[in-house]
Chain A
Amino acid sequence: MTNKELLKIEHLDYRKNRRVILHEVNLSIGTGHIIALLGENGAGKTTLMRIISGVAKNYHGTVCLAGHEEEEKRKTHLAMTDPLKGFLKSSQLNDIVVFYKKVYSDFDSERFEELKDFMSIDLSMKLSQLSKGMREKLIVALTFSRQCDLYLLDEPFNGIDAMTRKKIVNSILRWKSDDSTIIISDHFVTEVAAILDDVIIIKDRTVFTHVSADEILKKHQSIESYYESLYEGEE
């Protein structure tokens, strides 16, 4: 784990449909970390990732990744899990891989081959033939096949079985380079608790806390118990 600053967010505000989604978000993240981005449904985790990746627009404040504030340049330094909605359901997985190879110059074909074998992905299948778990494995494999500074995994464990979850966590450990940072958003941390360096919690439309996993474990039994303690008495 290194400490060079990779991502800096200052005074970020974002409104949509006349609702404040994020307010006065300030965040600083270094290189080489594995970070959990936690929060309830609708807390703004996905929105924050979409702003970092340059997909969400019309926000106020600054987002600087690897020294770049411009969206196009930020996109060259990050890989975000994409639900692949830009492809036709009849698209063959092979064609999707070709698309990634062509449009992302940092796409590592050898790494994808390894990930594909590790995740048991059959490229002759069509997108419509994939189960939720298979689709998630493909998304993670495509994301990790890029060689970037920052990986944004938006709820990669949503609705998938224990075996697939284990495979995804193992792939994170196996293919993460020392300098790259991974942010994983989720409602739960059970799957990734053991590999986390930091925890960021989004609550009340802002970054409620950004703390190291070691610090949490000094005072609490587990990251889950710490996270749950933040919501005690709210129900």
Chain B
Amino acid sequence: MMQEFKTLFGQIFKLKRKYVYSAIFFEIIATIVLSILMIFQNAASPAQTPLIASSASFFMIDLYLLFTIAKQNNQILMSQTWRLVPVSSTKLFFSSILTSIVSFLYLWLLQLVWGIFTFIPFWIDVSTTNKNFYFSGIDFSSLFNLSERQWRILIEVMIQMLLILFLFAVFIFVLSIMVRTFSEVISDFVPTSKEKLTRIISGIVLVVVIIYIIKYAGQGLITLANTGILASKNGVGNWEAIIGLLVGDVLISMADLWLLDRYVEGK
């Protein structure tokens, strides 16, 4: 019997979950170490220190998970172990991408919990002393006095940012698969002596070409926006980026699937 998507998804997520736990573990360690350093250097008030430390390590940890998972996706798609499973390349590809997204959402959830935990000393400090919500030089207490329109704009921008982050993560995943699969396929068509060199050159060329296409497509979208097709009152730039990333994700995914289905061999 051919494998169900659910089973495949579960098994791949099981592997990635370990990296999520290691990422959150690193974040906790980084927060503690940074907090200790900041306390010794009197860099911030003790109540704000854990929150500043966890915020500082947040993106580094996300980047760590992003590249670790991208590497693992390639290992799965290129390995004989996974390619022997009675499942189509399409199912395997989408399982890898979806588990990557779920792993990220899982990490964000854990980071949110950790963020709330590090926020507690700051919250206690503010509520007991009736101070303003000053954090990193910004007065967050003004958030409580926003008008309905301002809240709407703020929420829209936050949704856009989340979408951009999400699509960017998918972009990194599908792009890393593309670079690896493309260089593997090209190297299969050249003599063995030139295999390694071809793999490196084709990878570099592909990255350059994709960056050029993104830049070109971005300019095209800006032109479209200026003619009014995409123009809206707020966040025009963000919607351009979202559409650009979405188009990029879809196109690169289609190329990945084509290469995986026809040329890429499990090793």
Given contacts A17-B188, A86-B76, contact A99 B263 (CB under 8 A): no
List, in ascending order, chain A residues with CB within 8 A of B190's CB: 17-18
Alpha-carbon distance between A36 and B87 when the two chains are bound, in angstroms: 28
Q: In angstroms, how far is the closest chain B Cβ from the Cβ of A158?
A: 16
Distance A73 CA – B2 CA, assembled complex (angstroms): 7
Contact across chains for A18 and B86 when beta carbons are under 8 A apart: no
Whether A84 sits at the interface, judged by CB under 8 Å, is yes
Complex CA gap A99/B8 in Å reads 10
In the complex, chain B residues whose CB is within 8 Å of the CB of A84: 81
- B79, B80, B191, B262 interface centre (most CB from chain A within 10 Å): B80
> Nearest-CB distance from B23 to chain A (Å)?
16
Interface assignment of A102: CB less than 8 Å from any CB of chain B:
yes
Closest chain A CB from B197 CB (angstroms) = 13
Q: Give chain B residues whose Cβ lies under 8 Å from the Cβ of A16.
A: 188
Q: Does B267 contact A (CB under 8 A)?
A: yes
Indicate whether B75 reaches chain A with its CB closer than 8 angstroms: yes
Asked if A58 is at the interface (CB within 8 A of a chain B CB), the reply is yes
Whether A50 pairs with B2 at a CB distance below 8 angstroms is no
Q: Please, which residues of chain A bring their CB within 8 A of the CB of B179?
A: none
| Residue in contact with A50 in the complex, picked from B10, B75, B191, B265, CB distance below 8 Å | B265
The reply to whether A103 and B11 form a contact with Cβ atoms under 8 Å apart is yes
Give the complex CA separation of A104 and B7 in angstroms: 10
Whether the Cβ atoms of A55 and B84 lie closer than 8 Å is: yes
Q: Mark A139-155, 1 if CB is under 8 A from B, else 0.
A: 00000000000000000
Bound CA span A86–B87, Å: 16
Q: B166 in the interface, Cβ–Cβ < 8 Å?
A: no
Contact: A103 with B2, CB < 8 Å? no
A118-143: which residues lie under 8 A (CB-CB) from chain B?
none
With a cutoff of 8 Å between Cβ atoms, the chain A residues found around residue B75 in the complex are 86
Given A57-B265, A73-B2; A83-B85 close (CB under 8 Å): no
Question: How near does chain A come to B184, taking the closest CB pair, in angstroms?
Answer: 11
Beyond A57-B263, A73-B2, is A86–B192 a contact (Cβ under 8 Å)? no
Q: How far is the CA of A173 from the CA of B7 in the complex (A)?
A: 32
Contact among B11, B87, B266 for A102, CB-based, below 8 A = B11
**Cross-interface CB contact of A17 among B3, B85, B191, B263, cutoff 8 Å:** B191
- State whether the Cβ of B189 lies closer than 8 Å to any Cβ in chain A: yes
Are B262 and A105 within 8 A (Cβ)? no
A85 B79 Cβ-Cβ under 8 A: yes
B-side interface size class = 20 to 34
Interface of A is mostly: loop
Q: Which residue of B lies closest to A106 (CB)?
A: B1
- Interface positions, chain B 185-200, Cβ under 8 Å from A, are 187-192, 195
Q: Is the CB of A76 within 8 A of B86?
A: yes
Within 8 Å CB of B195, what residues of A? 17
Which residues of chain B have C-beta atoms less than 8 A from A73's C-beta? Answer: 2, 86
Contact between B80 and A17, CB atoms less than 8 A apart: no
Q: Which residue of A lies closest to B79 (CB)?
A: A86
Asked if A56 is at the interface (CB within 8 A of a chain B CB), the reply is: yes
| CB of B82 closer than 8 Å to a CB of A | yes
Once the chains bind, are B83 and A72 in contact (CB under 8 Å)? no
Report the minimum CB–CB distance from A106 to chain B (whole Å): 8
A203 in contact (CB, < 8 A):
no
Q: Which residues of A contact B8 (CB under 8 A)?
A: 103
**19 additional contacts, CB 8 Å, given A17-B189, A58-B262, A75-B84?**
A17-B195, A18-B190, A19-B192, A53-B84, A55-B80, A55-B266, A57-B262, A57-B264, A57-B265, A58-B188, A72-B87, A72-B88, A73-B2, A73-B86, A83-B80, A86-B75, A102-B10, A103-B3, A104-B85
In the complex, 6 of the A-B residue pairs with CB atoms within 8 angstroms, ordered by the A residue number, are: A17-B191, A53-B84, A54-B83, A72-B88, A99-B11, A102-B10
Which residues of B are in contact with A by a Cβ distance under 8 Å?
1-3, 7-8, 10-11, 15, 75-76, 79-88, 187-192, 195, 262-267
Using CB atoms and an 8 Å cutoff, list the residues of chain A in contact with chain B: 16-19, 50, 53-58, 72-73, 75-76, 80, 82-88, 99, 102-106
